[in-house]
Amino acid sequence: MASSKSFSILSLLLFFASVSFCYATSRFTHHPAFPPQSSKAERLIRSLNLFPKETFNIIDSDHLHSFVPGQIVEKNFSFLAHSGPSVEDLGHHAGYYSLPHSKAARMFYFFFESRKNKNDPVVIWLTGGPGCGSELALFYENGPFHITKNLSLTWNDYGWDQASNIIFVDQPTGTGFSYSSDNSDLRHDETGVSNDLYNFLQAFFKAHPEFVKNEFYITGESYAGHYIPALASRINQNNKMKKGIHINLKGIAIGNGLTNSPIQYEIYPEFALQNGLITKNESDDISKLIPNCDKKAKACESRGGTICEDALDACEAIFDRILSIVGDLNYYDIRKKCVGPLCYDFSNVEKLLNEEKVKSALGVRKELKYVSCSRAVYDAMLQDTMRNLEVFLPGLLEDGIKMLVYNGEKDLICNWLGNLRWVNAMNWSGQKAFRASPTLKFVVDGAEAGTLNSYGPLAFLKVHDAGHMVPMDQPKAALQMLERWMGGKLMNSTLDN
Ligand SMILES: *[C@@H]1O[C@H](CO)[C@@H](O)[C@H](O)[C@H]1NC(C)=O
Ligand SMILES: *[C@@H]1O[C@H](CO)[C@@H](O)[C@H](O)[C@H]1NC(C)=O
Ligand SMILES: *[C@@H]1O[C@H](CO)[C@@H](O)[C@H](O)[C@H]1NC(C)=O
Ligand SMILES: *[C@@H]1O[C@H](CO)[C@@H](O)[C@H](O)[C@H]1NC(C)=O
Ligand SMILES: *[C@@H]1O[C@H](CO)[C@@H](O)[C@H](O)[C@H]1NC(C)=O
């Protein structure tokens, strides 16, 4: 019993290491030509062999009759029941939303009302993968709590619920505690993803009408660089057509995102060279792979379909080559090594969420298993990865929706250089002025915590001493960033207000 449990946890963790938040380096295993000397590649292959068959939660349809499309079932809970405030005072909710355009898909979410003021903006946070649960961010980055070594919880002083009413969702279908009884409910593109999220938000605001008037912001990380533009555009369109409940969308914030995939893949050799990870020769050599990546990415953009998987292979070859040189470097944070089989140890979130008493408190069926990152969900989105989602953004900017692109500067996989490159290349009315904007200091506690470029609704923030997960590495700076940005005061950051 004990050994089978530790076996499955181990395999999940190994797998987790192989699925990046940005996209899966587990795709190495699809490259038969990958250099055999790479211990990482071998490790990933082994981990995949260990991985259990069901990589997302499929439940037999015994309860299908109870599936009511569009329904929200929510409960209040307290993880900190013994330490003070009552469940009602906390305003902590967990719920399931039954997706209308599905056979039987239920989307799990957490909703934490602001610790400070219920009039604070409503923020939705999306974790990437695709297929990684938002609980990774909740417990290790910007949620109300952190998990201690003994699996108890402590308040996170820099939780984003200090400045917002924040929603964390497990999506697309099959991610985290979200589940279905039917494989066909897996999503394959941003249309499917944004429809589900839009429908969820409509139901959410119907269930919480007191929050409809609040400002609304979409935030997230990594592969959310794909989700966010698609969702924001969907909301903005329906708002303009006066469809559904008006969602008071004021801005979007993309953290170490994958948005314009072709540009971001092609920049790897340059970033790696600049950061001393590879030599000039190696960079020149690896750069020879760029034209093929570019050609196939263009074909993907115009034709869609399976050519997009070819494009992903062609472009990932660039990243693979760099990883074969840098060895056990943590590609989410170039200051660090991947220690042991994992770059980070996030095992506690799976331990915690798989405790029966926790599931019961959250209204999660006991047969569901919490998996941090789902292989099946990732695989279902393979044709989406190379799509360039930047195309949605100029329209949002012209409509005055604020946009913050922030990047921990030590991340390789979704690095700041690639993000700045596409932000600069974006064709909108403020393009010239943005490119000419002065680089300001972003000051927190009297010290420079990053650098900022901004014009009109667009801001680009490079955060010092942070990798892929900015709120984990620089929690205070990240909270200040959110607060100032939502409050329209990011530009005055040098004043440390
Ligand atoms: C949950 O708590 C809220 C107050 O935050 C209260 O209005 C609501 O009735 C509670 N819901 C349930 C299902 O107990
Ligand atoms: C768990 O650890 C925290 C400190 O990290 C401590 O305050 C608490 O008492 C511990 N709980 C148990 C049950 O050991
Ligand atoms: C770099 O490449 C050039 C030309 O291919 C070669 O002559 C030179 O020896 C290489 N340098 C190193 C340090 O590998
Ligand atoms: C930029 O966008 C404008 C307006 O949509 C368009 O007329 C123009 O051709 C675009 N420029 C480039 C270089 O794509
Ligand atoms: C930013 O600072 C300037 C100069 O101190 C001030 O005039 C302006 O009102 C400030 N803007 C915001 C949004 O606080």
Q: What are the pocket residues of ligand 5 if the criterion is a CB atom closer than 6 Å to any ligand atom?
A: 488-489, 492
Overall average pLDDT of the 221-231 stretch: 97
Q: What region does 446 belong to: left with phi over 0, alpha with psi -120 to 50, or beta?
A: left
Q: In the structure, what pLDDT confidence band is assigned to residue 67 with cuts at 50, 70 and 90?
A: confident
Average pLDDT over residues 111-134: 95
pLDDT category at 53 given cuts 50, 70, 90 is very low
Task: Return mean pLDDT, the chain.
Answer: 86
Question: How confident is the model at residue 494, as a pLDDT?
Answer: 61
Report the relative pairing of strands 447-455 and 458-463 from DSSP bridges: antiparallel
How confident is the model over 9-36, as pLDDT tens digits?
A: 222 322 333 334 343 333 322 222 223 3
DSSP 8-state class, residue 456: T
- All CATH 3.40.50.1820 domain ranges in the chain, comma separated: 61-256+387-495
Q: Whose CA is nearest to atom 8 of ligand 5?
A: 492
* 173-177, 273-277, 481-485: range with lowest mean pLDDT: 173-177
First vs last Cα of the chain: how many Å apart?
55
pLDDT at position 363 is 92
Mean pLDDT of 449-476: 97
Which of 411, 437, 454, 493 is flagged as catalytic?
411
Looking at the CA of 489, name the nearest ligand: 5
What long-range pairs does 234-239 form, CB within 8 A, spacing at least 24?
A: 234/194, 234/195, 234/197, 234/198, 235/198, 235/201, 236/395, 236/396, 236/399, 236/401, 238/198
Question: Any idea what DSSP says for residue 428?
Answer: S
Average pLDDT over residues 454-461: 97
User: Considering the entire predicted model, what is its pTM?
Assistant: 0.88
Annotated catalytic residue: which of 372, 468, 473, 493?
A: 468
Kindly state the tokens that stand for 418.
């690639």
pLDDT the model gives residue 8: 28
**Is the CB–ligand 2 distance for residue 302 below 6 Å?**
no
- Ligand 3 centroid to Cα of residue 281, in Å, is 6
The answer on pLDDT for 135 being more than 60 is yes
pLDDT at 77: 83
Of residues 88 and 225, the one with the higher pLDDT is 225
Check if 82 has its Cβ closer than 6 Å to any atom of ligand 2: no
Whether the per-residue pLDDT at 104 is higher than 80: the answer is: yes
The tens digit of pLDDT for each residue in 339-388 reads 754 578 888 898 999 999 999 999 999 889 998 888 889 999 999 999 99
CATH number of 61-256+387-495: 3.40.50.1820
What is the torsional sign of CA 30, 269, 274, 408?
Answer: negative
Residue 37 is predicted with a pLDDT of: 32
pLDDT value of position 42: 34
474 and 410 in contact (C-beta within 8 Å)?
Answer: no
